[in-house]
């Protein structure tokens, strides 16, 4: 199950992410998704889809609910406007089946295209997420070092966090667009364009 990126109502405020989260909370929809997850189904949220997973509670908790003020969220980029360019990521955890074809410390260059992708959470929550292996990707600079500086960390995410999973790791959300990461796209932009491996891993999971 994939929740793709996309805009609605000019994406203001919390456009598609908030809209999708409200749909997910509808009792019949929520029940179907939670049954799907109990059967070890996989869920992927890309960009606005990632926002929806966080705002619905599916990330980082794996169940649908109403997030509290202390829960992780995604908010406006520190720079204050929409951004669209290639960002470098480093793999930090491969517990999720979506990352089965990656290695720890592997680098991935993927396009970003969002205005609200800044990950924020209380420090103790972030520490627990790290301990659980629920942070699979970080924004890094060209040398592969995690960074809080723009443009390596494009949105100003705390701890340079670029993606999140639930504890079971069958739900993955990321702000980048791996579906746009192909060797035959953006040919004038050099990079490590291996984002396709997320999707190949997802297919292999069910074979």
Pairing mode of beta strands 43-46, 118-120: unpaired
Report pLDDT for 150: 97
Report pLDDT for 18: 81
Phi-psi region of 160 (alpha: psi -120 to 50; beta: other; left: phi over 0): left
Q: What is the pLDDT of residues 97-107, one digit of tens each?
A: 999 999 999 99
- Determine which one of 47, 86, 89, 114 is catalytic: 47
Residue-range definition of the domain harbouring residue 44: 2-205
Q: How many domains does the chain have?
A: 1
pTM, two decimal places:
0.93
Residue 11 — very low, low, confident or very high, per pLDDT cuts 50/70/90? low
C-alpha to C-alpha distance for 66 and 145, rounded to whole angstroms: 35
Residue 151: CATH number of its domain: 3.40.50.880
Exposure class string for 110-147: b at 16+ Cβ within 10 A, else e: bbbbbbbbbbebeeeebeebeeeebbbbbbbeeeeebb
The tally of CA atoms less than 13 A away on the side-chain side of residue 138 is 23
Report pLDDT for 20: 86
Q: What is the pLDDT of residues 78-121, one digit of tens each?
A: 999 889 999 999 999 999 999 999 999 999 999 999 989 999 99
Asked if the bond preceding 91 is cis, omega within 30° of 0, the reply is no
Q: What is the pLDDT of residues 27-75, one digit of tens each?
A: 999 999 999 999 999 999 999 999 999 999 999 999 999 889 899 999 9
Q: Which percentage of the chain shows pLDDT scores above 90? A: 77
- Token readout for 59 is 């990330």
Identify whether 47 is a catalytic site residue. yes
- Determine which one of 86, 89, 114, 177 is catalytic: 177
Report pLDDT for 74: 94
Residue 7 — very low, low, confident or very high, per pLDDT cuts 50/70/90? low
């Amino acid at each position: 199950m994939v929740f793709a990126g996309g805009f609605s109502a000019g994406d203001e405020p919390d456009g598609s992410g908030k809209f999708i989260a409200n749909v997910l909370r509808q009792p019949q929809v929520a029940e179907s998704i939670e049954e799907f997850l109990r059967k070890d189904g996989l869920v992927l949220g890309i960009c606005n889809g990632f926002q929806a997973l966080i705002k619905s509670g599916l990330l980082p908790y794996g169940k649908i609910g109403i997030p509290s003020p202390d829960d992780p969220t995604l908010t406006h980029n520190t720079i204050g406007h929409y951004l669209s360019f290639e960002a470098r990521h480093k793999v930090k955890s491969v517990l999720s089946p979506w990352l089965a074809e990656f290695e720890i410390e592997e680098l991935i260059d993927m396009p970003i295209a969002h205005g609200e992708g800044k990950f924020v959470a209380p420090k103790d929550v972030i520490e627990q997420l790290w301990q659980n292996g629920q942070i699979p990707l970080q924004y890094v600079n060209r040398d592969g070092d995690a960074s809080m500086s723009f443009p390596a960390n494009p949105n100003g995410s705390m701890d340079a966090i670029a993606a999140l999973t639930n504890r079971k790791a069958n739900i993955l959300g990321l702000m980048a667009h791996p579906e746009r990461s192909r060797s035959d796209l953006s040919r004038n932009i050099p990079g490590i364009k291996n984002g396709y491996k997320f999707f190949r891993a997802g297919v292999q999971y069910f074979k």
